[in-house]
Amino acid sequence: MTMNLTKLFEQHALEVFEIYNDSLIKQSMLYSFFAPGKRVRPLLMLKLISDYGLDPFIGLDGALALEMIHTYSLVHDDLPSMDNDSLRRGLPTNHVKFGEANAMLGGDALLTGAFEVLSRCSLNAENRVKCIQILSSRSGANGMVLGQYQDLSLINENSDFQALSAMYSLKTGELLSAALEMGAIIANQNEHIFALREIGLSLGLAFQIQDDLLEVTLTDEAIGKSTASDRDNHKVTAIRLLGQRKAEELIHSLFDSVTRKISELNLDGTELLDYIQELLKRQK
């Protein structure tokens, strides 16, 4: 099911990108969009819609907009003046491949395009507007962008777990929340939005702590071959602040609360829950 949905999503994305004229900017957009990714945000939304007993097809444009926002954020965050990463998922980062200017512009075009896709999709105008409201507010100066700022500038060796978890919620939770909130809007289940937002924020925190845990594991496995940058070595993580056992406990308690909240929604299906379970078991 996940495979089929991913295929359907990527096929749809490819068709929608046809609205753009050929240019190096389009190549820059496509390069990062189609770099191998888990498509977590699209799948969370499409599986929720499916759990409502509806055809996930109606959410494809919303899912595309979410992934365009996620992709632009990766492209910009990788830039030398931000995280300065040269590899992402085994491929050269966008600016290594296309140069800094075209990475920046490709990111700007993906960000702009997300709202173009939503504004042109087949939902009724009211729901298009609601999706754009959610996506813009979750990803902007009160949401994801603020999280990236906090990650770069506010989190330092003196940060406590409260500051770290606030940053994690902004940087990752807000867009996961948008995925679920938009799913509810598209399925005309507005009464679920508040609960789904809480679920999204908890998931964001859980996934980020899980990333911290996986990094510890990977570092242990790579004994004698340190590729971590100085910044990575001094990075404040949930493991450093809580210890590994407490961090693992927190993930489980977040997952329990997410499970309980989803069960309270009385959905027809369990695709969303199964998928979240699968994500929390991931080893990379």
Q: How far apart are CB 31 and a second copy at their closest, in Å? A: 13
Show the site string, 170-209: x = touches a second copy by CB under 8 A, - = not: ----------------------------------------
**Contact call for residue 155 and a second copy (CB under 8 A):** no
**Contact call for residue 109 and a second copy (CB under 8 A):** yes
Of 53-61, 103-111, 176-184, 268-276, which segment contacts a second copy by CB under 8 A?
A: 103-111
Sign of the CA dihedral 191, 195, 198, 202? Answer: negative
Asked if residue 227 lies in contact with residue 178, where contact means CB atoms within 8 angstroms, the answer is no
Number of residues that bind a second copy (CB under 8 A): 49
**Contact call for residue 161 and a second copy (CB under 8 A):** no
Residues 30-49 that bind a second copy (CB under 8 A): none
E strand or H helix at 127, and its extent? helix 125-139
For a second copy, the binding residue among 41, 70, 88, 128 (CB under 8 A) is 128
The identity of residue 137, as a single letter, is S
Q: What are the φ and ψ backbone dihedral angles of 92, each rounded to 5 degrees?
A: -60, 140
- Interhelix angle for 60-77 vs 2-16, to 10°? 80
Q: How far apart are CB 174 and a second copy at their closest, in Å? A: 12
For residue 139, what are its two tokens?
A: 């990803």
**Contact call for residue 18 and a second copy (CB under 8 A):** no
**Contact call for residue 112 and a second copy (CB under 8 A):** yes
For residue 181, what are its two tokens?
A: 């909130």
Q: How far apart are CB 98 and a second copy at their closest, in Å? A: 10
**Contact call for residue 26 and a second copy (CB under 8 A):** yes
**Contact call for residue 58 and a second copy (CB under 8 A):** no
Asked if residue 193 lies in contact with residue 181, where contact means CB atoms within 8 angstroms, the answer is yes
Of 127-135, 174-182, 221-229, 248-256, which segment contacts a second copy by CB under 8 A?
A: 127-135
**Radius of gyration, CA atoms only, the chain:** 19
CB closer to a second copy, 59 vs 254: 59
Q: How far apart are CB 102 and a second copy at their closest, in Å? A: 7
Sign of the CA dihedral 100, 103, 109, 111? Answer: negative
Asked if residue 125 lies in contact with residue 155, where contact means CB atoms within 8 angstroms, the answer is no
Q: CA dihedral defined by 22, 38, 201, 163, rounded to 10 degrees?
A: -90
Whole-angstrom distance, CA of residue 182 vs CA of residue 129: 11
Q: Where are the beta strands (DSSP E) in the chain?
A: 87-88, 91-92
Footprint on this chain of a second copy (rule: CB under 8 A): 19-21, 23-26, 29, 72, 76, 79-82, 99-102, 104-105, 107-109, 111-113, 115-116, 118-120, 125-126, 128-129, 132-133, 136-137, 139-142, 145-146, 148-149, 152-153
